[in-house]
Structure 1
Amino acid sequence: MLIEPLNRSPLLGDGGRVPVHPLAVEAGSTISRFPSYLPLVLAVLMCACSGPWNNPYRESEAGKNILYGAFAERPKHLDPVQSYSSNEILITAQIYEPPLQYHYLKRPYELIPSSAEKMPLVQHFDQKGARLGDDADASRVAFTIYEISIKPGIRFQPHPAFARDQQGGFLYHDMGKTDLADIYKLGDFSHMGSRELTAEDYVFQIKRLAHPRLHSPIFGLMSDYISGLKEYAATLRAVDEAQFREQGSGAYLDLNNYPLEGAEAVDRYTYRIKIKGKYPQFKYWLAMPFFAPIPWEAERFYNQKGLAEKNINLDWYPVGTGPYMLAENDPNRVMILEQNPNFHGESYPSEGMPEDAQADLLKDAGKPLPFVDKIVYSRERESIPRWNKFLQGYYDASNIGSDSFDQAVQLTGQGEATITEAMREQGIRLETAVAASTNYMGFNMLDPVVGGAGKRGRESARKLRQAISIAVDYEEYVSIFANGRGIPAQGPIAPGIAGHRDGKEGINPVVYDWVNGRARRKPIEAARKLLAEAGYPDGMDARTGAPLVLYFDVTTRGTEDKSSLDWMRKQFRKLNIQLVVRNTDYNRFQDKIRKGNAQIFEWGWNADYPDPENFLFLLHGPQQKVGQEGENAANYSNPEYNRLFEQMKNMENSPERQKIIDRMVTILRHDAPWLWGYHPKDYGLYHAWYGNVKPNRMSNNNAKYFRIDAGLREQKRAEWNKPVLWPVIAGLIVLIVGLLPAAVIYRRRERGTGIANTEPKHETGGSPA
């Protein structure tokens, strides 16, 4: 390395001398200069160690009241009328406020008011309009009225859709190309506005369920319940088509011009929803973003030409009244929520379960929400970087992948999960909960091979599905890939939900036998027999002699999924079936399912509310994905099942309802539209500075309850991320020592040359001419 400046400077020309560098100390020899320079180099390195070198966040965020998390899949829809995925509700539930919510601490889950002043007034009426009692039989109830009163004084977040000029006109409702020339994101608008929430905003959102351009996933279900919604959709479609013929694409469809029988505002703070018949589960829908308010000004604003092309729309920039608003949306990198300055306020629960006080979950009772100022969600496609950043303190919480399970969790002699000593020393704690969810493989019933739409017919396809159901060993899958964190499913209904059965009564007899007091998967020979009966002996098509090839559509997030997909291929090879895996991202996967282009697919369902209907409707024929835009992704339809579903859905839980559910589940097991998969158990890890955490599988708007001790986090990050410099310093010393002999030789040679050049020269001269 050079310890002196170059002799010549390109700035001064060939004859210019550069001043000696301050670090180059004159000494009698090169050897003496190395030790004098080395301490300065080391000092510079040590000064650079004042903070963690691997901090992925801005230095200005240090010590701030910020919650840090991660997401793997980018959200597709943030418009509450279309959003229905768990990665989307992570965002939408913090922004939008439906009238009801779940109590954060109480179990069983209890609905309480959110933006509503009180719980809805529910009234039942017969065909003649006479009022019936609350316990009236469903067969007598012609319609039900839900009357909801909202709290006055609630305001929307700041947004340009509300901005007005001095004359009271909207600033940004009639923009042209010139106005949009310098607009690239919502923050580029100079003015923001707000207004008070009214009952009309809730009615407007209910109308949007029927909007012909929005394709709400619950429209099919809600059109069976909300009075006039199906007819309203037909009206809007006809108007939209007429406007397209007259004005072209992009014409604004103003829903305020078209009343809906099933939703009306009574006054500024009260509205009513009219439901066909008796549907006790409807109250749960009122806690979901589908029924959160949307201001008409926002839809009018976003409908302008030129904004959608710049991703300025409700799917990108939500408009809500909740505790947070989306401040930055870069879903390939980061999504940031900040406190809504117009939030009307709410208090932390003052009561919970008996164990909550001991767990320090009531120390904030009665204090104003939210506690966290900002939430930063970073996109992490790979599980290993996500896990490492959690251990370094850069993510406040983490789930547990199969690769990190043994590092984080150990099982006691009683089979209970507990945190490992290494995690405990870091102050990390484990929270567990049984998930009200199911992970399954679905068969597309519109497919000619696995669904029976081809020449072989439905019976052949049914036996093929049954054979595969036996062959795919989910006990082994849960053991290997979920570290035992799951229960192999016997049907669609998750444990803890009414209608689920355990023990001998609850087994799937198509796949399992009951042996010695427990369920045992049928032998592979039973599957091979069914496969032969289906027309594919030993995995070969009996008609053509060609091998049976099936296609499996999945969303993969990295190399960690390769082993599970290899395992799945192995399961199909038990039957000599070739399984071709087709990978795609989540948004493209959703499009394939919506269009019915998948043959076999992998998906899951988290319960929206604690009722069996929320699982059984996933296989209800009228709610199939293709053609109906429903949630029946398998496109399964069985007339008897559909009839029983219509009978069951409006009933209160009772022995009679249980009998109907048992019959429905029996039909599903026989038809096998799903390979039932497993019901997962949730394990979550939380750092010591992360407070007020209680797993709640029904409630999604939980961010407002969390508390962060930013000071403790900074302290721990500094402790855990100290740069290890001794290898660098040792390497520098070795390098310097290695260069010393060469430097000495070079110096001696230079000195020898200098001495030789200073010796007197003897000139030879000739005699004068």
Structure 2
Amino acid sequence: LQYHYLKRPYTLVPLTATAVPEPVYLDAEGRPLPGDAPEAAFSVYEINIRPGILYQPHPAFAQDEQGRYRYHALSREEIASKWTLADFAHTGTRELTAEDYVYQIKRLAHPRVHSPLYGLMSQYIVGLQELAATLREARPDERGWLDLRRYPLEGAQVVDRYTYRIKLKGRYPQFAYWLAMHFFAPMPWEADRFYSQPGMTDGKNLTLDWYPVGTGPYMLTENNPNARMVLERNPNFRGEPYPHEGEPGDEEAGLLRDAGRRMPFIDKVVFTREKESIPYWNKFLQGYYDASGISSDSFDQAVQIGPDGEATLTQEMLERDIRLSTAVAPSTFYLAFNWLDPVVGGPSERARKLRQAISIAVDWEEFISIFANGRGIPGQGPIPPGLFGFREGAEGINPVVYDWQDGKPVRKPIGVARSPVAGAGYPDGRDARTGQPLVLYLDTTDRGPGDKARLDWYRKQFAKLNIQLEIRATDWNRFQEKIRSGNTQLFFLGWNADYPDPENFLFLFYGPQSRAKTQGENAANYSNPEYDALFQRVKAMPNGPERQALIDRMVEILRHDAPWSFGFHPKDYSLYHAWLGNVKPNKMARNTLKYRTVDAALREQKRKEWNRPVRWPLAALALALAAAIAPAVIGYRRRERAMARGA
């Protein structure tokens, strides 16, 4: 599966499948249940793939005249002379089959793959835990390869050449999103065997992650991350039509001009690493790069922020016909209060008032302006804009922290925050019982002197409440260990969506996901029985009014309990030249290159126009040299004439 390039909210559409699969629900005896049944023992997804899809040319598929694989039994000596895939004289291909998808699902349990998704999927895919135990005891062949075709998996089975079936425990409607991610991309057994040969990693990078194999529009032909990476058109790609529909406004923006045309439109894509931002930026302005992000150093040159907070391009960019693209990322950055901490954590009224007061005091609008060049949206809750469950306007604000004034959210004045601090037992920042000043501790990573301004800003926010903030800076590994053990008080973290469903953010507060207790993703270790019960219902529900109502209640609970100070959702800015077409930010898809177009003639024209040789400095230098030499020449000639007269 893949995400529709143009539609929002993000929508799944087929890629190699014939349709987006719909689950069939079964009871414990395997009997079908209605789709709206509240409980189900199993969910079954049957996926049909289109016939005739071919893999890219690759040595793993190469065969000799007798049909034997040329490169599956290489000696170390034979491999020693091979450094890239181009060093293999022969390539081959074959048709994509359902077995390739099943093989990849089994790889999630492979002891040498160490898939980060195994822990989650082992809770759902029937038999995956048992397969992992079996593979840990299995013996590979004499060449170190473990042929996963020999090991059955109940939760992933081949039905026929073009159909496979996945069986999950219970209901998990978000599973379809995972089918659009690389964890479930097909894996031909030939490639697994090819790369498993001894010697492939001896001082070289002949590995699957360095040279992947697939059926998509491009193949990686050069991979040097320190200098250059090259994607070239896959000659075996079947082609794919550009979308016929999108959002309102897409047609006016020219995004449907290529509707129905076969993709990809670009034959070769070159990524070049620039170690310094200034040369990279200058090359973009000269037209040698088609698109660019905007660093802090070049932000003011490229973008100006209007009185209403809207970003527009500067005159310099407009004169070059450079375009600006912005999109709110499906991610969030937040300040967490450790629920296990005796001062700021737990359900007590005292701790809750303190958390709420700090949430008001930490001015995220100012943070975004100073440290993110205005590139962010203050968070009103955990769910970012663009996802189901997010509320716009007055009904979407956090009433604990904001008031709705003149059609926009306005942070409550600091005086409002001082009252709950006093109510928490800390009037003027001192413990009412002991008279001692309130000192809180922020754990963070130490990245060097450049962080001083940011850390000073943190202290300033807490000082508004007369709270002393002590910074405990450490390295990343130690920071992570402190969070894992629950040995923190306050800390900053972020989260990027795995898929565009509110469950992927709401589970960050689910009690059984506590980082300190279960090594889950609930880093704040928050726990609320009502919230946990609602999450259990919401996570398995389809989008609709009932789900929205439950999400509203969950967000209300979070705003009241304040386990986070909801920070901001980053806003991505990118620039692109007029010759780059079909540009629309898609923060979930990873296969957007195939949609892009390049007007090569316009690019060449602009490069010549912007990079004409400047000859006047040479002329000026020549005149300066002439002016400097002239007195010497005149003096020399005078001496020569004087000597001639004297003779």
| TM-score, L = length of structure 1 | 0.72
Find the counterpart in structure 2 of residue 104 from structure 1: 5
Deviation at 1:318, TM superposition (A): 1.5
Name the SS for the 2:77 alignment partner: coil
Are the structure 2 counterparts of residues 632 and 391 from structure 1 closer, same or farther at C-alpha, using a change threshold of 3 Å?
farther
Deviation at 1:202, TM superposition (A): 0.7
- Given the alignment, which residue of 361, 372, 378 partners 2:255? 361
How many residues align structurally?
Answer: 639
Please tell me the residue identity of whatever aligns with 2:10.
Answer: Y
Residue-by-residue CA offset, 1:524-546 (whole Å, 9 max, x unaligned): 78479759969999599x89999
Find the counterpart in structure 2 of residue 181 from structure 1: 80
| Cα pair 1:572 1:579 within 8 Å, conserved | no
Find the counterpart in structure 2 of residue 648 from structure 1: 538
Please tell me the residue identity of whatever aligns with 1:520.
Answer: R
Partners of 1:204 and 1:536 in 2: CA distance: 63
Is the aligned partner of 1:727 residue 2:617?
Answer: yes
Larger Rg belongs to: 1
1:63-462 pair list within 5 angstroms: 100-134=1-35, 136-139=36-39, 141-237=40-136, 239=137, 243=139, 251-308=144-201, 309-353=203-247, 355-380=249-274, 383-401=277-295, 404-410=298-304, 417-433=311-327, 435-441=328-334, 443=336, 450=338, 452=340
Partners of 1:612 and 1:406 in 2: CA distance: 35
| Cα pair 2:430 2:437 within 8 Å, conserved | no
Residue range with higher mean Cα deviation, 191-200 or 591-600 = 591-600
Partners of 1:720 and 1:583 in 2: CA distance: 45
Find the counterpart in structure 1 of residue 584 from structure 2: 694
Please tell me the residue identity of whatever aligns with 2:221.
Answer: A
Please tell me the residue identity of whatever aligns with 2:265.
Answer: F
Is the aligned partner of 1:474 residue 2:373?
Answer: no
Q: Which has the higher contact order (CA 8 A, sep 6+)?
A: 1
Deviation at 1:207, TM superposition (A): 1.7
Find the counterpart in structure 1 of residue 502 from structure 2: 612
Deviation at 1:603, TM superposition (A): 4.8
Partners of 2:265 and 2:304 in 1: CA distance: 33
Partners of 1:606 and 1:165 in 2: CA distance: 47
Residue-by-residue CA offset, 1:66-85 (whole Å, 9 max, x unaligned): xxxxxxxxxxxxxxxxxxxx
Are the structure 2 counterparts of residues 625 and 336 from structure 1 closer, same or farther at C-alpha, using a change threshold of 3 Å?
farther
Are the structure 2 counterparts of residues 117 and 525 from structure 1 closer, same or farther at C-alpha, using a change threshold of 3 Å?
closer
C-alpha RMSD of matched pairs (Å): 4.2
Find the counterpart in structure 2 of residue 550 from structure 1: 442
Are the structure 2 counterparts of residues 531 and 161 from structure 1 closer, same or farther at C-alpha, using a change threshold of 3 Å?
farther
Deviation at 1:178, TM superposition (A): 1.8
Partners of 1:514 and 1:354 in 2: CA distance: 28
Deviation at 1:477, TM superposition (A): 1.7
Partners of 1:325 and 1:257 in 2: CA distance: 29
Are the structure 2 counterparts of residues 454 and 356 from structure 1 closer, same or farther at C-alpha, using a change threshold of 3 Å?
closer
1:14-25 pair list within 5 angstroms: none
| Cα pair 2:230 2:271 within 8 Å, conserved | yes
Please tell me the residue identity of whatever aligns with 1:452.
Answer: L
Please tell me the residue identity of whatever aligns with 2:192.
Answer: E
Find the counterpart in structure 2 of residue 523 from structure 1: 414
Structure 1 unpaired stretches of 5+: 1-99, 760-769
Residue-by-residue CA offset, 1:19-60 (whole Å, 9 max, x unaligned): xxxxxxxxxxxxxxxxxxxxxxxxxxxxxxxxxxxxxxxxxx
| Cα pair 1:220 1:629 within 8 Å, conserved | no
Residue-by-residue CA offset, 1:655-674 (whole Å, 9 max, x unaligned): 44334324433454456554
| Cα pair 2:144 2:198 within 8 Å, conserved | no
| Cα pair 2:324 2:575 within 8 Å, conserved | yes
Partners of 1:689 and 1:201 in 2: CA distance: 39
Partners of 1:365 and 1:752 in 2: CA distance: 87
Partners of 2:343 and 2:366 in 1: CA distance: 35
Partners of 2:520 and 2:116 in 1: CA distance: 5
Is the aligned partner of 1:677 residue 2:576?
Answer: no
Deviation at 1:455, TM superposition (A): 11
Partners of 1:589 and 1:716 in 2: CA distance: 51
Partners of 2:575 and 2:8 in 1: CA distance: 21
| Cα pair 1:437 1:494 within 8 Å, conserved | yes
Name the SS for the 1:615 alignment partner: helix
Name the SS for the 2:86 alignment partner: helix
| Cα pair 1:440 1:675 within 8 Å, conserved | no
Deviation at 1:303, TM superposition (A): 2.6
| Cα pair 2:284 2:291 within 8 Å, conserved | yes
Structure 2 unpaired stretches of 5+: none
Is the aligned partner of 1:492 residue 2:382?
Answer: yes
Please tell me the residue identity of whatever aligns with 2:377.
Answer: I
Partners of 2:534 and 2:268 in 1: CA distance: 48
| Cα pair 1:511 1:522 within 8 Å, conserved | no
Residue range with higher mean Cα deviation, 318-327 or 154-163 = 154-163
Find the counterpart in structure 1 of residue 471 from structure 2: 579
Partners of 1:636 and 1:161 in 2: CA distance: 49
Deviation at 1:707, TM superposition (A): 0.3
| Cα pair 1:487 1:678 within 8 Å, conserved | yes
Partners of 1:219 and 1:643 in 2: CA distance: 25
| TM-score, L = length of structure 2 | 0.84
